[in-house]
Amino acid sequence: MRKTLALFEYAIGALARRPGKAVALVAGIALVTGLLASILSLHAALEREAGALADAMPELTVQAMQGGRPATIDAETLEFLAGHPGVRSIRPRVWGYLFVPSLGANLSVFSVAPDAPELAEVATLLEGRAPRSKGEAAVGDTFARSLGLRPGDSIALPTGSKFHLLEITGVFGAEASLQAADVALVTEPDARLLLGYDDGRFTDVAISLASPTEADVVAAQIAEHLPHARVVRRDQIARAYALTLGARAGLVGAMLLPLLGCFLLLAWDRMSGLGEDEKRELGVLTLVGWDLRDVLLAGLFQNGLVALTGAALGLLAAHVYVFGFGAPLLFDALLGWSRLHPTFELAPAWDAGQIVTVVAFVVVPFSLASLAPAFRAADVDVDALLRGGA
């Protein structure tokens, strides 16, 4: 134990005697660790938000298909779905995308009935109120901010060659940005006018089940009766979110591998290039009784301290960058480059797996990279070193 402490003290002293080298290595490790940890923590935070969003969706969503493309749903299909065993309630929906020339982006238009039960929850997310009659709309915070809209303002949205005037009655807060950043919530007549839907036809149907555990069975029965319909379960949507975010995070993370490799190669070259003072120091240590194991262990301690210090600084920088500043640029790379992408405050989402990943990819390779140079440095001619030779 005493010998181990002595080796540890020597490692600290060796770093203090060469502060420039130590600071450069710590800064490099902090940079690589910060980039990797930023991707991992942002991915975890977005995945958690997407999971919460998927949990609020209906158990099943039914969409008509024609020629492999989405089509509208008629009254006969609604009647069948409403009377199907296991279905507690259905909610026909009218929604779609409307291109707004002034923004060069699509606006997601959703219809809502004035007496819809979900309006009670929507009301808690709005500055203002939800639309109650034709000609009113509640819009997402990103869309409102892009055009400088506030409750009480009016906006003219395109409907073919004409425009339809809407009064803004509410704006969704930042806490609803992931769901409603580019959304305009309007009454059903307004949605049909803006999107060109005929009366009596709907975009899709949201289904609430009497027993959510029977989603697979009910979905299979509906698909059998409606062979040209697409039946989407809530867990499929959650899995799609997870796969999309995971693929983007993996792609961005893979772009860091060349940087990590270059840094480890540079660190190897820097550590293997021992100066005369370092060689003389090792010669003295060998002369006073240090063996190869002691030299290797001291090298591990020295580089382990550098790696852990750099990793800790990198993790701290990643936390501030992601959860303090909202991860600019990286947020867009993982969530998408939409003109009306959401902006919201990310909740910290660290777990042991992320720390282990950082240690496995940065700290361990850097620490092990010191073994070969230390082995090479220990296998020297002590007499030649003390005489000033090579």
Find the helix packing angle between 292-319 and 2-17, rounded to 10°.
Answer: 60
The answer on 84 and 44 residing in a single domain is no
**Boundary of a domain, candidates 169, 200, 233:** 233
Please check whether residue 11 lies inside any domain of the structure: yes
pLDDT at 168: 94
User: In percent, how much of the chain has pLDDT > 70?
Assistant: 79
**Boundary of a domain, candidates 204, 233, 262:** 233
The answer on 293 and 226 residing in a single domain is no
The answer on 248 and 200 residing in a single domain is no
The answer on 192 and 98 residing in a single domain is yes
Please check whether residue 238 lies inside any domain of the structure: no
In a 10 Å sphere around its CB, with 0-12 CB exposed, 13-18 middle and 19+ buried, how is residue 226 labelled? middle
Measured distance CA(230)–CA(263) in Å, rounded: 49
Instruction: Give the mean pLDDT of the chain.
Output: 80
The answer on 102 and 129 residing in a single domain is yes
Q: Which residues contact 264 (CB under 8 A, 6 or more apart)?
A: 365, 366, 369
Please check whether residue 84 lies inside any domain of the structure: yes
Distance of CA 318 to the CA centre of its chain: 13
Q: How many domains does the chain have?
A: 2
Backbone angles phi, psi at 63, to 5 degrees: -130, 130
Q: Which residues contact 146 (CB under 8 A, 6 or more apart)?
A: 103, 339, 340
**Boundary of a domain, candidates 210, 233, 256:** 233
Least Cα distance to 192 among 253, 90, 109 occurs for 109
What domain range includes position 31?
2-53+243-386
Measured distance CA(344)–CA(177) in Å, rounded: 6
Please check whether residue 14 lies inside any domain of the structure: yes
Flag the least confident range among 34-48, 85-99, 259-273.
259-273
Flag the least confident range among 92-101, 128-137, 216-225, 240-249.
240-249
Residue 316 has pLDDT above 90, yes or no: yes
Residue 389 has pLDDT above 60, yes or no: no
Please check whether residue 213 lies inside any domain of the structure: yes
Please check whether residue 116 lies inside any domain of the structure: yes
Least Cα distance to 190 among 284, 107, 289, 303 occurs for 107
The answer on 318 and 275 residing in a single domain is yes
Please check whether residue 120 lies inside any domain of the structure: yes
The answer on 193 and 252 residing in a single domain is no
In a 10 Å sphere around its CB, with 0-12 CB exposed, 13-18 middle and 19+ buried, how is residue 101 labelled? exposed
Pairing of strands 105-111, 183-186: parallel
| Amino acid at site 2 | R
Mean pLDDT over 311-324 rounds to: 90
The answer on 370 and 276 residing in a single domain is yes
The answer on 42 and 64 residing in a single domain is no
The answer on 258 and 220 residing in a single domain is no
The answer on 205 and 119 residing in a single domain is yes
Measured distance CA(352)–CA(360) in Å, rounded: 12
The answer on 266 and 158 residing in a single domain is no
Measured distance CA(315)–CA(326) in Å, rounded: 15
Whether the predicted model's global pTM rises above the 0.75 cut: no
Per-residue pLDDT tens over the stretch 363-376: 887 777 666 666 66
